[in-house]
Amino acid sequence: MNWNEQEWHWTNESRMVILTGAGVSAESGIATFRDSGGLWENHRVQDVATPEGFIQDPNLVIEFYNQRRAELAGVNPNPAHLSLAALQKKLGEERCFLITQNIDDLHQRAGSSQVLAMHGELKKIRCLNNKNHVIDFEGKQTRDTLCPECSSLMRPHIVWFGETPFEMDLIFERLRNCTHFIYIGTSSVVYPAAGFRDIARSSGAKILCINPDGSGVPSSDFLIVEKAGEALPALKLA
């Protein structure tokens, strides 16, 4: 169950899929999504992370994500982000496919050239009437921030509860064709991410979990009970 480089058995034909979760961003000082009381930054999750919450009080939701966006200016990528960026640069995007559950931009700022943000991105907003109208946005959104294509109200480009994560078909395709799957800083018990291990395993992939609380033991070939920022710089994954 512990890390063994020889049993990891990386070759020139190997293909890796990596999933990162809140624990990776937490090492940079970003608060995890919600606490045990169902709150996110002292707000009920239902009020700020559901379509119904946005309909009920769009001003509250817009301001909530304005604050989360502003907080990004005070945090930086940590050694885990930098190590993954270096790994992707070494292997290339086709052989090292990075998926994140996080909505910050720390992977991108660390230098990762390909990041699939399955739950959306804080630094983007999108049109309420056309989900394909997505724009980069780093400022302070208001009700007057309208879609440049059709002048409709914009919403945060975030996957809320009750919505389907982005690019699931592509994620499943990559998982079915990978030889190595790593999940880092996430317990991976909430679907659909909870099913990623089984999809990868069904294709014969080796599974590595890096998590300081030790979750992932029953369904991982390898487990490293350390923070990602401590474990990843020391590992030879490829």
Report the alpha-carbon distance of residue 98 to residue 121 in Å, rounded.
15
**Hey, what are 141's tokens?**
């959104």
Cβ-based neighbours of 206, under 8 Å, separated by 6 or more: 7, 8, 9, 179, 180, 181, 221, 222
Single out the catalytic residue among 43, 81, 107, 119.
Answer: 119
Residue 109 CA to residue 84 CA, distance in Å, equals 12
Query: Using DSSP, how many helices (H) and how many strands (E) does the chain show?
Result: 10, 11
Spatial separation of the C-alpha atoms in residues 114 and 182, rounded to whole Å: 16
Say whether 119 is catalytic: yes
User: What tokens appear for 171 in the block?
Assistant: 């994620």
Q: Which residues are catalytic?
A: 119
